[in-house]
A and B are shown apart, each in its own frame.
Chain A
Amino acid sequence: AQSVTQLGSHVSVSEGALVLLRCNYSSSVPPYLFWYVQYPNQGLQLLLKYTSAATLVKGINGFEAEFKKSETSFHLTKPSAHMSDAAEYFCAVSESYGGSQGNLIFGKGTKLSVKP
C-alpha cells in the first residue's frame, strides 16, 4: 500500500529564513504527489502538485517542491518565510491503481511556526 511520511511534526523558522518541510513516499509506480496547506479553522488548500511532468514544481505563495525518484522524496521549500506561512502542511500521494485511483493518502502533517 502507498504511504507518505512527513519528517517532523513541528518545524519552527525565523521570518526570512528558508522553509524546508520533508516528505517521503512509498509507491511501486510513479505517483501523483501533492502539498496542501491548512490554516487554523479552515479547509485544505492545494499548494502544488506533481503529475510526472517537470520534477521541480512551483506552487502558490512562493513555495516549490522537487520530485526525486531516487530518494522517493517530495520536499517542500520556500526561500524566505513570512509570518503568514504559519500553518499546517500536508503531503499527499494519490492512489495510482485499482478502484481507488485518485483518492488521497495524507501524511501526518507538519505544523510550521514562523518567529518574528
Chain B
Amino acid sequence: DSGVTQTPKHLITATGQRVTLRCSPRSGDLSVYWYQQSLDQGLQFLIQYYNGEERAKGNILERFSAQQFPDLHSELNLSSLELGDSALYFCASSVGVSYNEQFFGPGTRLTVL
C-alpha cells in the first residue's frame, strides 16, 4: 500500500459525458501528478500540482483539467469523453517538486462506451 488513494476504482460512462477522478496523496506529500496509461500510448504524464498550484503540464488534452485543493487532494476532470479516453488513470504523489520518489495510487480504470 503506497498511501495514495484513488476513487473510484472503475468508471464506465458514455461518449460525450464528463467524469471526475479523485486522488488523495500520501500524508505529508505536497506534489500530485496525474498519468494516463493506455495500450497505444503507454504511460504518459498529464499534469502536476504542487501545494495547490499547477506546476507542469504534459500531454493533457484541453478537454481535461485538474486542480489541487487546500487539503492537498486532487481531482482530474475529463469532459466530452471519447472512446479513445478509455485508459487507466494514475495519481502519484511526492514530497517535493522535483527528483523525489513518486508513490503511485492503484489507479482508476475508465471505460468509455
How far apart sit A34 and B43, CA to CA, in the bound complex (Å)? 14
Q: What residues of chain B have their CB less than 8 Å away from a CB belonging to chain A?
A: 2, 4, 31, 33, 35, 42-45, 48, 55-56, 58, 90, 92, 94, 96-107
Task: State whether A102 touches B101 (Cβ < 8 A).
Answer: no
Q: List 5 A-B contacts (CB under 8 A).
A: A45-B104, A46-B103, A100-B58, A101-B56, A102-B31
Question: Shortest CB–CB separation between residue A50 and chain B, in angstroms?
Answer: 11
Q: Considering only CB atoms, which chain B residue lies closest to A6 in the complex?
A: B42
Task: State whether A49 touches B31 (Cβ < 8 A).
Answer: no
What 8 pairs between A and B have smallest CB-CB spacing? Answer: A102-B98, A101-B98, A106-B43, A43-B104, A44-B104, A100-B56, A43-B106, A103-B45
Q: A52-92, CB under 8 A of B: which get 1 and which 0? A: 00000000000000000000000000000000000000100
Question: Shortest CB–CB separation between residue A64 and chain B, in angstroms?
Answer: 17
Q: Considering only CB atoms, which chain B residue lies closest to A108 in the complex?
A: B42
Residues of A within 8 A of B58 (CB): 100, 103
Task: State whether A43 touches B90 (Cβ < 8 A).
Answer: yes
Q: Considering only CB atoms, which chain A residue lies closest to B107 in the complex?
A: A43
Task: State whether A42 touches B94 (Cβ < 8 A).
Answer: no
Most A-side CB within 10 Å, residue of B4, B31, B55, B99: B99
